[in-house]
Chain A
């Protein structure tokens, strides 16, 4: 499977995702933000980091960059798109996903391991997870507090567009297990067609037992199914 990682000035998880994808047998290409053409690929990844310094608002400038027009075109024609952390913020700023990522509820940067529960697994990204499975991921963000309007929130829930929700070690979803204040403990969402996934936790940090665990690997290997 071919993947493409878009590298913005200030991206800092681009290498990490490339390492994970290559380890899991993807053929990956890095694309610099000033490039005008996207290579043909099955998966486009918008990596974590601080694109353009996150000046103005997280992801706001990246959402207006030239390469994003190409990403939007590809996404609209059904290409799989994964935005992790800053990538999720870019996707919402670009309008590819609805809603917004606000400052964390405690107004501080949060860098820690958290648990998420796989909620909707009937999609290309999560088919190797079991619904209800508890996974240990890592988060590192200032603005991960997902917010959207009531109609869209209902739609996300009704149409099974929420792959992951923050939970505790035992899988309980509640206020205490919600690190950043996201609505309904949302850690990631899909668009209606489920080809675009935005998530705050970093699955690419969980693909190596000696460093952390393997809980993130299935997100990538699901795509190979």
Chain B
């Protein structure tokens, strides 16, 4: 087949990139080689638009064992325990085929974690859909939720936390981000770097089919009206096989048979073999006749570009082949030696005793394009709307409307489709600030959370980027965990558009600043560009997955009210920032103005002090104040308990709406026993933290003195009705 301009374009490569390929090869590529280049050089695999900015993120820290660049990040949680985690997007496939797209997103991220030697212990997800009344939303929502559940439930890893949001910005491009967290022994972590010559390269797992060919390239382009045509590029998941693959890999990892291991994710056999070789500065030779195929007459091109799921590539130590084969046979999985490491640093592809492709590894990896794309800054928006001029609403009416809105409504209809308890170490399930997972047979736990704030990022990417890191940090603190590190999934529009590229660059500036200040490094992540359809880009949506440590599981804390007569102390100052708030959006449909300011120094001080109070066991429950403001946080502390609150009128702010719905950052609510109040206030004062008593716990009623009093059951009903009527 002749490589014409049209063929090059179909492979997602531009003319300059094709010229570069010819220079690197010193000749024209054949079709197979072009396919391999396209798989390695697309945005998804090469990070060609993002690397320039990503390199600024803080990735090191005392507790970081492995930062970005491996299958997942690794942190030290003391003793001989390490936590391995990462978040990844599966947005494009999920929009085309919601069940399989979401399911294989979960499968892929699980492989990233157990490839490194960890047993997965928790799954999380962040899912964003279009407006609930958009005709596609309901089908996409049901498909994605059952796909996530279908995979995680079957493989037997609990799905413990997540977030779901609706906004018309995602009408034509939903977001499905999945995070997996695993536990390993510190001295038993496996990496992808190849070592040694003439070592066996082994293919294990499922057979290769024709599914997902060019999946990574598909995920590196915008959608058009013809997205349906892309269905064959979506992979099909089989969680049962993955369970077998996981057990087999973990069994083989018990001894020293493995030199390096890499899952076949995006761009399948191509990227796994190239990554291993590139990191080891070696070559790799593959005999494609040996690749186990699911379908007849598969071509080398199809084998190299298939994204069939549940496959791994392993480089074995000498003479370990039989031992390893026995384990994979036990689990009824394919085990085939398909190649070897070579001194010549090339990817050499052989088929029917002929060399059918030969590309220098460096041409595929370090020589991949790198773009410093044009980008524009976003100005901090003006406060054009005068809050005082808005038509007055009643506090109770506004609260009920917000509580029953799709974004704030109870999400148990989703979490009930997930097994949260399997492995029986889930000490705190979804619905709180963060989930808590006990380390098996140990006293300690980790806390995990996933968060995003796309409207803040749209209004002002630097502030939004900072805010979402702080939100993650606060959520971990609020369950009694010391925040350690994050993983990020950066969902943005078309990077060739300077405005989008600016959103990306500035969100990262914000992320970097907050991570550095809070000593909360980024250890893994994923970039998803081209989220949009027909030139309409989504709002910038960086999603942060945070992990923290609770040294004694008994010290975990939740946000549910505990006892009548206890005092609610608000920590951090309320200024009444209503721009970009849930209140303005839900009640007035106003989405303009600047996001709340983030004061990193307050954030750090407040968080560390609250954690100190929790560890001293002076607090009965904690909640952070986030979207929806103070009053929503107060209501959430009552829901699912028998308690309500008697809330004082604000002592400082005259505008009730600003006081109750403002989304100022760095704030917490603490439930304190009356006899502990003095010492708690003393510790807060010593640390120069503003706090005030604002409410008292009472039975059954939620009451704002002088405003309204309502049965908590009515609030519960309002919070639960949306989905039942959807």
Residues of A within 8 A of B (CB): 9-10, 12-13, 15-16, 19-20, 34, 48-50, 52-55, 108-112, 138, 140, 202, 204-205, 208, 210-212
Using known A-B contacts A12-B422, A16-B422, A111-B421, determine if residue A140 contacts B153 with beta carbons closer than 8 Å.
yes
C-alpha gap A210/B417 in the complex (Å): 23
Which residues of A lie under 8 Å from residue B155 when comparing CB positions?
A: 12
The 16 sampled A-B contact pairs (Cβ below 8 Å) are A20-B424, A48-B422, A50-B239, A53-B238, A53-B239, A54-B154, A55-B240, A109-B153, A109-B416, A109-B418, A110-B416, A111-B420, A111-B421, A112-B412, A205-B421, A212-B421
From B146, B240, B332, B422, contact of A13 by CB (8 A): B422
Interface string of B698-714 (1 = CB under 8 A from A): 00000000000000000
Asked if B244 and A9 make an inter-chain contact with CB atoms under 8 angstroms apart, the answer reads yes
Cβ contact within 8 Å between A210 and B416: no
Chain A's nearest CB lies how many Å from the CB of B240?
A: 3
Partner of B438, one of A12, A50, A211: A211
Contact pattern, B 208-245, Cβ under 8 Å of A = 1, otherwise 0: 00000000000000000000000000000011110110
Shortest CB distance A119–B (Å): 24
Cross-chain contact of B419 among A9, A111, A210, A212 (Cβ < 8 A): A111
Q: Cβ of A10: which chain B residues have Cβ within 8 Å of it?
A: 154, 240, 243-244
The reply to whether B146 and A109 contact each other, CB–CB distance below 8 Å, is: yes
Q: Does B720 contact A (CB under 8 A)?
A: no
Question: Is B596 engaged at the interface, CB distance under 8 Å to the other chain?
Answer: no
A111 and B418 contact, CB distance less than 8 A? yes
Tell whether, in the assembled complex, residue A111 and residue B240 are in contact, meaning their CB atoms are under 8 Å apart. Answer: no
B723 within 8 A of A: no
A53-B421 in contact given A111-B153, A111-B416, A211-B438 (Cβ < 8 Å): no
In the complex where A111-B417, A112-B416, A210-B553 touch, is A50 in contact with B154 (Cβ < 8 A)? yes
Number of A-B contacts (CB under 8 A): 85
Q: Flag whether B554 is at the interface (Cβ < 8 A).
A: yes
Residues of B within 8 A of A110 (CB): 416-417
- On chain B, the residues within 8 Å of A12 by CB distance are 154-156, 243, 422
Please give me the residue from chain A that is nearest to B157 by CB atom: A12
CA distance A111 to B157 in the complex (A): 13
| Extra pairs beyond A12-B243, A211-B426 (12, CB < 8 Å) | A10-B244, A12-B155, A16-B423, A50-B153, A50-B156, A50-B243, A52-B240, A110-B416, A112-B412, A202-B421, A208-B424, A210-B554
State how many angstroms separate the Cβ of A128 from the closest Cβ of chain B. 21
B146 touches A108 (CB 8 A): yes
Q: Please state if B240 and A50 are interface contacts (CB–CB under 8 Å).
A: yes
Complex contacts, B554 vs chain A, CB 8 Å: 210
Partner of A205, one of B244, B332, B424, B553: B424
B480 to chain A, nearest CB (A): 13
CB of B427 within 8 A of CB of A108, answer no
The smallest beta-carbon distance between B253 and chain A, in angstroms, is 17
**Docked-complex contact A9 and B331, CB < 8 angstroms:** yes
Interface residue B540 (Cβ < 8 Å from any Cβ of A): no
- Is B149 part of the binding interface, using a Cβ–Cβ cutoff of 8 Å? yes
A211 touches B240 (CB 8 A): no
**B149 contacts across to A, CB distance below 8 A:** 109, 111
Query: Are A19 and B424 interface neighbours, CB within 8 A?
Result: yes
Beta-carbon contact of B424 and A211 below 8 Å: yes
B423 to chain A, nearest CB (A): 7
CB neighbours (8 Å) of B156 from chain A are 12-13, 49-50
For the complex, is B425 an interface residue (Cβ under 8 Å from A)? Answer: yes
B556 to chain A, nearest CB (A): 9
CB distance from A52 to the nearest CB of B (A): 7
Q: Which of A138, A205, A211 contacts B427 (CB 8 A)?
A: A211
| B415 proximity list for chain A (CB < 8 A) | 111
Are B240 and A53 within 8 A (Cβ)?
yes
- Name the CB-closest residue of B to A13: B422
B417 in complex: contacting residue of A20, A53, A109, CB < 8 Å:
A109
| Distance (whole angstroms) from the CB of A136 to the closest CB of chain B | 12
Q: How far is the CA of A109 from the CA of B149 in the complex (A)?
A: 8
